[in-house]
Structure 1
Amino acid sequence: MFILQHLPIVCLVLSGLICVVSSSCSSKLEHSLFDDLIGMMLKLKGTGNGGQGNISTKKDTPAFTAYRNSVQTLSSNAIVKFDKLWTNNLNAYDLTTGVFTAPMPGLYHFSAVVMSEDGKTLFLHLWHNDIKTAGSYTQGDGYKTGTFDVVLNLKKGDRIYIRCKGGHDSQTIYSNVDNYSTFSGYIIAK
């Protein structure tokens, strides 16, 4: 235990050591301050998880980033299948279906960038279960990128995916080895 003299401040040492301060405060106030500091230190250090508190590890944090490195031609209402992965914690994104299924309830952030073919229209929506949310519409000369950026409150088992607009056959997601089309999601609060 350290004894600091002639310092008018209270010291918090995160290594677990308590600093005793010599000052003109009353004994009752000094004990109250130390109780508060010890409480804060315990909150910072956590109780278990190796001192990590409530910090999640990447093993238990739902997160994915999927991408395409080739074109995908879509029929009306077809789901975009991002068929390659950089990240897929908890295996919540299914490459074969193009659907993310929430492994736990919480607030999630989703974003996507999709590129159209040169001079072609691309009309997509982000779906939450069977409810259409954000849309992306690209049209005009050249390659165009549409984006999605949404935060959704999900229940365990909710599904998130990107689907071609109904009544719009033969739309194409463009991508190549430069991975122009990506889809990501992760939990931001439990």
Structure 2
Amino acid sequence: MKLNNAHCAITVMHFFGTMCWTALLVFTVAVSLTLSQAESDSSSRFVKDIDGYMSVCQRLGWEPKKGCFQQERLIAFHAALKHILRNLPVKTTLKFDDVLLNKGNAYDPTTGVFTAPEDGVYSFEWTFLSIQKSSVYLEIVVDGVRKAITCINQQGSLYISSSGHLLYELKEGNKVWIRTSHVTAGYLHGNKYTFFSGQKLKSF
């Protein structure tokens, strides 16, 4: 009789234990589904909020061509002279034929001309190296109009370099290049001593 009672007690405990584990499993699944639904709702609200912000930005005229959150295109180049150039006539365009960087493919080494692929503010730098008793005037032009000039005139050092910098707002299609000016350019050193570079500044 005592054995039967013990057996009944064990059976009852097993039954309630199974019920507890089942209830716990159902509770866990329910919580998971609830959290998943909440996360889904949160994601949906986030997407709707972003769409709303983009719409407001576009209505205000901020970055209307690209949208508010689209990554900007990288436009940058750096090119140097491969070889020495001598006795260049006035208004000779320099063709920097050793291209080290040309993101956006806006610089053409066959012509020496940079063509702005889009509107924006651009930064340009150039440096040249010359020798003793040589005179060199270099100017940077936008669509044929001079914007800045650098020079070395009958200098006394064995070698000397000069550099220039231009910040300028360009429209799509504007062309920029470096050319000789004033007098015949006596000597320009190659092998990366004379170079031209530029980039579009980021919009904020």
TM class by shorter chain equals 0.5 to 0.7
Instruction: Give the fraction of aligned pairs with identical amino acids, expressed as a percent.
Output: 27
2:167 pairs, out of 143, 147, 151, with: 151
Partner of 2:105: 91
Q: Distance in 2 between matches of 1:170 and 1:127?
A: 17
TM-score, length-normalised on structure 2? 0.61
- Spell out the pairing of 1:1-190 with structure 2 (5 A cutoff): 53-56=69-72, 60-73=73-86, 74-139=88-153, 140-141=155-156, 142-166=158-182, 168-176=183-191, 179-190=192-203
CA distance in 2, matches of 1:158, 1:72: 27
Q: Which has the larger share of helix?
A: 2
Q: Deviations over 1:144-186 (max 9, x none)?
A: 21111111000011111111004x225321123xx11111100
Q: How many residues are treated as equivalent by the alignment?
A: 139
Secondary structure, in 3 states, of the residue corresponding to 2:92?
coil
Q: Whole-Å Cα distance in 2 between the matches of residues 131 and 161 of structure 1?
A: 10
Paired residue secondary structure (1:111): strand
SS in 2 for 1:144: strand
1:55 Cα shift?
3.3
Aligned counterparts of 1:138 and 1:54: Cα–Cα separation in 2 = 45
In structure 1, give the amino acid aligned to 2:190.
S
TM normalised by structure 1 equals: 0.66
Q: Structure 2 regions of 5+ residues with no counterpart?
A: 1-38, 40-45, 55-68
For 1:77, what is the secondary structure of its paired residue?
coil
| Mapped contact 1:75–1:171 kept (Cα < 8 A) | no
Shift >2 Å, 4+ stretches? 53-56, 169-172
CA distance in 2, matches of 1:163, 1:174: 15
Counterpart amino acid of residue 94 in structure 1: D
Give, as a single letter, the amino acid of the residue that structure 1 aligns with 2:116: A
Q: Deviations over 1:101-139 (max 9, x none)?
A: 101110000001111133311111111112101111113
Unaligned runs of 5+ in 1: 1-16, 18-34, 44-52
Cα pair 1:80 1:162 within 8 Å, conserved? yes
SS at match of 1:88: strand
